[in-house]
Amino acid sequence: MEAILWTTPRALRAFGMTREVAETTRPMTIDQGVCNLSITTGLIWVFSSNDPVRSQVQIQVQAYLLSCVLVATATTGMTVSRKIMIVQGAPALLALGFVVFTH
């Protein structure tokens, strides 16, 4: 959302900010959004692999990327909005638990 949709009405509502604040902070959020998109594309890639038997490296990459999401979520939750901890953090925590406890 930060890289692409930062100044849309949806983002303004989600982050509780005015259009002016969104425009002012846009250069910083583009960087944040690119980092989030990188983690997301990595997760899509590693979870969609056709390897019938997931390798140890795949599992480690999944755990690492999901941990990155959790660290980013905790940081944003403490500095911007605690709501993000549920919206973004809960799915990442569930996925991490699935990755770790099913192997």
Residue 63 lies in a domain: yes
Query: Tokens standing for 24?
Result: 């002012």
Residue 72 lies in a domain: yes
- Does residue 102 sit in helix, strand or coil? coil
Q: Which residue has the tokens 């999944």?
A: 62
Higher pLDDT, 47 or 23: 23
30 Cβ neighbours under 8 A, 6+ residues apart? 2, 3, 6
| The pLDDT of residue 98 is above 80 | yes
CA–CA separation, 24 and 12 (whole Å): 13
Query: Whose CA is closest to 54, among 1, 103, 4, 2?
Result: 103
| CB-based burial label for 70 (10 Å; 0-12, 13-18, 19+) | middle
Question: Which domain covers residue 33, as residue numbers?
Answer: 9-101
Residue 17 lies in a domain: yes
Q: Predicted confidence band at 19 (pLDDT cuts at 50, 70, 90)?
A: very high
Residue 16 lies in a domain: yes
Residue 32 lies in a domain: yes
Residue 94 lies in a domain: yes
Contact 66, 95 (CB under 8 A): yes
Residue 3 lies in a domain: no
Beta strands in the chain (DSSP E): none
pTM: 0.74
The 10s digit of each residue's pLDDT in 59-80 is 899 999 999 999 988 988 888 7
The per-residue pLDDT for 83 is 84
The per-residue pLDDT for 52 is 67
| The pLDDT of residue 47 is above 70 | yes
The per-residue pLDDT for 32 is 83
| Overall number of domains in the chain | 1
